[in-house]
Amino acid sequence: MFLTTRISGGSSGPTLGWERWRSGRWTRRHRSRIRFRAARFGVHGQLPDAHGRLRAVSEILEDALARVEHRARELMCVEELALLRDLLRRGGGAGAQRATYEIAGIDAVVRQLTELTATEVPSLDAH
């Protein structure tokens, strides 16, 4: 069975056995399922945390962002870190794309992605 139940200290909860993941004892099939969950559900899914407990991806990411916040201040990139939190609140990149698709269709998604990733290309005639 893919999910197991770990009982420790009187509490129980589903776990994917993070120790097994890190030690390489998960089979290729298990790792494939976890990658599928991550790709399919994005920030709305659940993945094992560092202790092997299934948690919402958004919670895991919030915890990670909180742990690096002090370093972001030292490196003067707090605004960039805030952009990650904003992306998380919007449901991740896939969530934003799904929302756009539901409202305006695939052409709007392509247009949005083009605008987000487009860069100015210098004209060859400028020389």
Residue 39: name the closest of 93, 87, 83, 82 by CA. 93
Distance CA 114, CA 47 (A): 30
Domain regions of the chain by residue span: 4-118
The pLDDT tens digits of the residues spanning 3-59 come to: 333 333 444 444 445 555 555 566 777 778 877 877 778 888 888 777 778 888 889
- Quick check: 54 and 48 in contact, CB under 8 A? yes
Give me the sign of the Cα torsion angle 113, 119, 90, 93: positive
Residue among 112, 80, 117 nearest 99 (CA): 112
pLDDT in tens, 79-103: 988 988 888 887 787 778 888 999 9
